[in-house]
Structure 1
Amino acid sequence: MKNIKMKMARVEKDLSQEELAKIVGVSRQTIGLIESGKYNPTLNLCISICKALSKTLNDLFWED
């Protein structure tokens, strides 16, 4: 399932995939795969992404 919420939060912060990847310490490809739903990130990576985007785990990773 695509992670539209994460992509929207990234765009709201005016960050590219590359910029977010550098902040959280992964490759741009990893961010792209998470957003496209082809990669299931670790909890630690989820938390890092949430902190970088000023969101909670529920905001970005909980399915409605």
Structure 2
Amino acid sequence: MGEPGTAQLHTTLPVHRARLGLTQAALAERAGITRKSVNAIEAGNMVPSVVLALKLAQALEVPVEELFALA
């Protein structure tokens, strides 16, 4: 997990998901991915590709940069 921004993604993703009142399954459906992938990202066990990060940002209605924002 040593890549810049990855530590923040697993904490920002559930915050944005909760803001929209989405479950992991609902976010996965909106993004066209599996719930297992959302769970793995939120658990810090998976680093999404650029394409996947863009899909998540679109599903969450935020700029992709916001998903990787530093605290």
Q: Same fold (TM over 0.5)?
A: yes
Q: Give the SS at the match of 1:18.
A: helix
Does residue 47 of the first structure (1) align with residue 64 of the second (2)?
A: no
Structure 1 segments (4+ residues) deviating >3 Å: none
Equivalent pairs counted in the alignment come to 64
Gapped regions of structure 1 (runs ≥ 5): none
Q: TM-score, normalised by structure 2?
A: 0.80
Q: TM-score, normalised by structure 1?
A: 0.87
Higher gyration radius (CA): 2
Gapped regions of structure 2 (runs ≥ 5): 1-6
Q: Relative to structure 2, which stretch is displaced further, 20-29 or 1-10?
A: 1-10
| Structure 2 match to 1:27 | 34
Identity of aligned residues (%): 25
CA RMSD of aligned residues (A): 1.4
